[in-house]
Structure 1
Amino acid sequence: YLLKEQFRLIFQLKGKEAITALDDWCSWAKRCRIPAFVDLCKHILNHRESIVATLTHGLSNALVESTNTKLRLITRKAYGFRSTDNLIALCLLDRGGYCPPLPGRKAA
């Protein structure tokens, strides 16, 4: 339990402090002999450069992944549309932030 919670705390830290905590956590995970944590540590070491870049700069591709998922969902909903223009309009309406006034309602 403590290993899991310590791992979660690493991503709340920034910069060198986070990198040091990650290295300490990996050495701790290697010694614990729990196969899942040992495997996770191996994966972390294989992708260490990318993880360190994320910890250093605080950047993530989560927003892009979220947008891609939403667009796939919209595409699935728009299966019966007759043209791609309708699909594009629905994507822009959902993800573009446009909020047209509805008929019969006063604009706020």
Structure 2
Amino acid sequence: MGKYALLKNPENLAEAQSGKLAEIAREDKRLHSACLPKEDLRGVFKPPDGAAAAEKPDRWLSRACRSWTKEIKELSKRARRRREAIARAVELGVSNARVEAVNNKVELTVRMGCGFRDIDNLIALAMLRCSNLPIKLPGRA
């Protein structure tokens, strides 16, 4: 149960999971302090609240670069290189979820179409699957 208490959003925790998280905070300070940057990063991508939205990535980066966790330090280095793009994404409230969904559909189509002799047929099927065209099959309503 402790694993799920650490992975879930704090607002989605069940009562028992909230208790487990409080227990982890008391008994395993190292584990709890490793999870704090993750929760702070969630706050960076919350909907912007005016001028403070541009400061959120900077605040997270300043705390993350001082983290003792190797993974958080590496992430902060990568994020620092893309700081402007992250700030714009936070301000505009955009994500790449739609692109990832289409990519998933294309990859699934490629796996299904392993017997195609012609690449054009595979491309046509991928384009058809990713479009919203209604297809009427003969003999079906």
* TM-score, normalised relative to structure 1: 0.74
1:45 is matched with: 80
CA deviations 1:51-90 (Å, max 9, x no partner) are: 1121122333332343233223312322322434532442
- Pairing partner for 1:3 from 29, 34, 37: 37
* Change over 3 Å in CA distance of 1:83–1:56 after alignment to 2: same
Partners of 2:70 and 2:117 in 1: CA distance: 52
Match of 2:46 in 1: 12
Aligned pair count reads 106
- Partners of 1:3 and 1:84 in 2: CA distance: 46
Whether the 8 Å CA contact 1:93–1:99 is kept in 2: the answer is: no
In angstroms, what is the RMSD of aligned CA positions?
2.3
Larger relative contact order (Cα-Cα within 8 Å, sequence gap ≥ 6): 1
Cα distance between partner residues in 2 of 1:62 and 1:56 = 17
- Cα distance change of structure 1 residues 55 and 80 upon mapping to structure 2, 3 Å threshold: same
In structure 1, the partner of 2:103 is 68
Q: Which residue of structure 2 lines up, in the alignment, with residue 56 of structure 1? A: 91
SS at match of 2:114: coil
- Using the size of structure 2 for normalisation, the TM-score is 0.60
The CA distance in 1 between the partners of 2:78 and 2:139, in whole Å, is 57
The alignment status of 1:91 with 2:126, answered yes or no, reads yes
Is there any run of 5+ residues in structure 1 with no aligned partner, and where?
A: none
Counting aligned pairs with the same residue, the percent is: 39
Q: Which runs of 5+ in 2 are unaligned?
A: 1-34
CA distance in 2: counterparts of 1:83 and 1:39, whole angstroms: 43
